[in-house]
Amino acid sequence: MKNKGEEPLRIIPVNGDYILAIYQGSISEFDLLLRYRQKTPAGGWTRIRTPKHIHWAVDILIKMHADEINTKEFVGFLLDYWNNVTPLRSEDERESLLNINTLLNDVGNESEKYSALSDKGEYSIKFLLLVAKLLMVQEKTNREDAYMFGKVLEGLKEGKDIFGIVSAATHRK
């Protein structure tokens, strides 16, 4: 998977159903750009996609409709993670974050707790955890006072109406 002729920093196969590629972004020195492909029901792969807040937020809304208790617990876990994420400030920090074995092991262990949600919505919990963690670091690395991810998670946890959640997930400055 290529991004405008650049080689990815990492390529991570996830569950056999997703391929996540992480590129050097253009916003800051340690910006991360995520791209992914998803296996289609016919066995092929989708075009390369860039995950947006609205994508995972809609998936969580679907999961919430199917299993509110476990999904709210999952959102609470993500919100705790968001509140403790620190920006990347060095190449060593980025290399540590992008260690594939550590990433997949951490996400794998955490995804077991919420595995009942994987068959609800579009995305597996393992994929959502991986993308969420990387997007959180990306957002805070590019802007320490970032708030968008947190606002969407707070809206989901509080059970805000769909308009408020979608508005928060698609807000542009």
Predicted structure pTM score: 0.86
- How far apart are the C-alpha atoms of 145 and 114, rounded to whole Å? 29
Residue 44 parent element (H or E): none
Please report, in tens digits, the pLDDT of each residue of the chain (173 residues total): 555 558 999 999 988 899 999 999 999 999 999 999 999 999 999 999 998 888 888 999 999 999 999 999 999 999 999 999 899 999 999 998 898 888 887 787 788 889 899 889 989 999 999 999 999 999 999 887 778 788 888 888 888 777 777 777 776 55
pLDDT at 112: 87
Q: Residues 37, 46: contact at Cβ < 8 Å?
A: yes
pLDDT at 59: 93
pLDDT at 155: 86
- Domain positions in the chain are 52-170
- Residue 19: partners with Cβ closer than 8 Å, 6 or more residues away: 1, 11, 12, 13, 36, 37, 45
pLDDT at 172: 58
Closest CA to 103 of 3, 2, 10, 7: 10
